[in-house]
Amino acid sequence: MIRPMFRPMTDSLSELRDELREIEDLSSIDQLMEWDQQTQMPEGGAVARGRQMALIGKLVHQRRTSTRLGDLLGSLRSVQDEDSADGALVRRATRDFMRARRLPTDFVTELKEHTAASYVAWTKAKPNNDFASIAPVLEKTVELSRRLAGFFPDQDHVADPLIDEHDPGMTVASIQSVFSGLRKELVPLANAIFDKQGPRRDFLSRSFPIPKQYAFNREVIEALGYDFSRGRIDEAAHPFMIRFAAGDIRITTRAQEHDPTDSLYSTIHEAGHALYEQNIAAALDGTPLGHGTSTGVHESQSRLWENRVGRSRAFWDRFFPRFQETFPEALKDVDAEAMYRAINTVERSLIRVDADEVTYNLHVMLRFDLELQLLTGELKVRDLPEAWNARMKSDLGVVPETDTVGVLQDIHWYCTTVGGTFQGYALGNIMSAQFYDAALKSSETIERDVARGDFTQLRGWLVENVYQHGGRYLPDALIQNATGAPLTHAPFMRYLETKFGELYDL
């Protein structure tokens, strides 16, 4: 049969959808192997699993860069400009295709091999407080990150292409303008709190049997809206959320007997990511739009549920009676208010992942600024620990005694490129406050319900304005549409000042 020269647009669109679904399905197989690797797989499976995942990764890359996909997208060029779901799909698929095509396969392999070796080196350097051993490895990572950025010539800053991968449409300039305003207000707030006496926290290190923690956490996230008929929760060393399809969005958790907050808040955090994914419109499933739109927006949802909801007085008013019933011995001399105060302690801390809401973004902005300096060459890798410690002293008033709890603490620079990931953590907090304020403003009853510990309406607003759209809008447009304003740090600062001003009597 001779192929007609002209194919109607609808045929090309449905062919594109079929092609994209197969790519998504292949990626889901890769994800499933990763989930299994982190939750179930015996140690003996590691070598074969590495090989299997590399094979699927290669197949996915071939499909993502195929001439057939390029031809399909080419024939749909006119759809790209449409202000419709199809237009958004073709735009996103074209963007992904162009990005993937720009990277030579040899380079992708070199980067992958290097970052895998770097991760292994980091697992040894960190416990041994041995930055010197990993410095040459990190130098190479910086060089590879610069080369990666170099494949994208339209850039104002060398980090822009790296950021664009995770937070599409955002740049160093747009992020710095938000971060610099935030830092200026955040450092004095943190300092004012550091001078005050913290609340009582002794009861949090009593015994909280782990199976009971898991049962309680399950009850909490079910009440917040996590749908167990389309998900499940398993144990893993590093908690994460993973999507295989619209009907299968899983989370993982871990627990410590003498700190129930670790498991509770990481479970709510991952459930927040999952709430986003579980509520993306079904029609977008199996396409590149069937995922959250960016790292920053994703993190805005995990942090909204973890902090804005989970660390609120309303949350503890509602859940403390059940918490106390679950752990009567540990909580015999504690009430909801004491719990609320204890889990909102602000302190000079060394470790980002354990930091409170006030100091967390200072940790993130420190990393963001340093990685920009590494990428531009302003800062040499050998001078990094010193620069790290100086910034810790000026922003957090504390200097790590070892690199283990300093520059070696986070995995990111040692398992992927330098640049592109840290900004998302702070952007998430900033966005979460902006979304939350917009939700409260949308109707008086939301605020009343939230104060009573009923989060159904809040979730409804998020589904309507954020979740259902998946990747249809880039972050800037999504924020503007949902909140009526561009990204700003003001709602986040107002939230911190009000909450912690009351808690610390400022």
Cα–Cα distance between 309 and 440 in angstroms, integer? 13
Identity at 330, one-letter amino acid code: A
State which residue, 263 or 302, has the beta carbon closest to Zn ion: 302
**Three-state DSSP state, 226:** coil
Is the distance from CB of 183 to CB of 490 less than 8 angstroms?
A: no
Cα–Cα distance between 307 and 322 in angstroms, integer? 19
Binding-residue pattern over the window 89 to 108 for Zn ion, x denoting contact by CB under 5 A:
--------------------
- Minimal distance in Å, beta carbon 304 to Zn ion? 11
Binding-residue pattern over the window 454 to 483 for Zn ion, x denoting contact by CB under 5 A:
------------------------------
- Minimal distance in Å, beta carbon 401 to Zn ion? 28
- Minimal distance in Å, beta carbon 301 to Zn ion? 9
C-alpha dist (Å) from residue 87 to 69, 73, 261, 324? 16, 11, 44, 52
Binding-residue pattern over the window 206 to 245 for Zn ion, x denoting contact by CB under 5 A:
----------------------------------------
Note if 185 is an active site residue: no
- Minimal distance in Å, beta carbon 460 to Zn ion? 22
- Minimal distance in Å, beta carbon 40 to Zn ion? 22
Is the distance from CB of 390 to CB of 427 less than 8 angstroms?
A: no
State which residue, 72 or 355, has the beta carbon closest to Zn ion: 355
Binding-residue pattern over the window 248 to 287 for Zn ion, x denoting contact by CB under 5 A:
----------------------------------------
Find the residue with minimal CB distance to Zn ion: 302
Residue 44 in tokens: 């003996």
Cα–Cα distance between 450 and 455 in angstroms, integer? 5
State which residue, 65 or 267, has the beta carbon closest to Zn ion: 267
- Minimal distance in Å, beta carbon 430 to Zn ion? 15
Is the distance from CB of 433 to CB of 182 less than 8 angstroms?
A: no
22 to 51, contacts with Zn ion by CB under 5 A? none
- Minimal distance in Å, beta carbon 5 to Zn ion? 49
- Minimal distance in Å, beta carbon 67 to Zn ion? 37
286 to 325, contacts with Zn ion by CB under 5 A? 302
The phi-psi region of residue 129 (left if phi > 0; otherwise alpha if psi is between -120 and 50; otherwise beta) is left
Write 98-105 long-range contacts (CB < 8 A, 24+).
Answer: 99/152, 99/165, 100/61, 100/64, 100/65, 101/65, 101/70, 102/151, 102/152, 103/148, 103/151, 104/151, 105/61
State which residue, 270 or 369, has the beta carbon closest to Zn ion: 270
Is the distance from CB of 69 to CB of 97 less than 8 angstroms?
A: yes
Is the distance from CB of 408 to CB of 126 less than 8 angstroms?
A: yes
How far from the centroid of its chain's Cα atoms is residue 127's Cα? 25
State which residue, 292 or 491, has the beta carbon closest to Zn ion: 292
Cα–Cα distance between 168 and 238 in angstroms, integer? 26
Size of the site for Zn ion (CB under 5 A): 1
Which of 24, 270, 277, 299 is catalytic? The answer is 270
Cα–Cα distance between 46 and 27 in angstroms, integer? 19
Q: Which residue has the tokens 């940790």?
A: 363
State which residue, 287 or 295, has the beta carbon closest to Zn ion: 295
Single out the residue of 251, 241, 247 nearest to residue 285, CA to CA: 247
State which residue, 217 or 302, has the beta carbon closest to Zn ion: 302
Cα–Cα distance between 164 and 475 in angstroms, integer? 11
State which residue, 327 or 425, has the beta carbon closest to Zn ion: 425
Sheet containing strand 241-245, edge to edge, reads: 233-235, 248-253, 241-245
Interface ranges with Zn ion (CB under 5 A): 302
- Catalytic (active-site) positions: 270
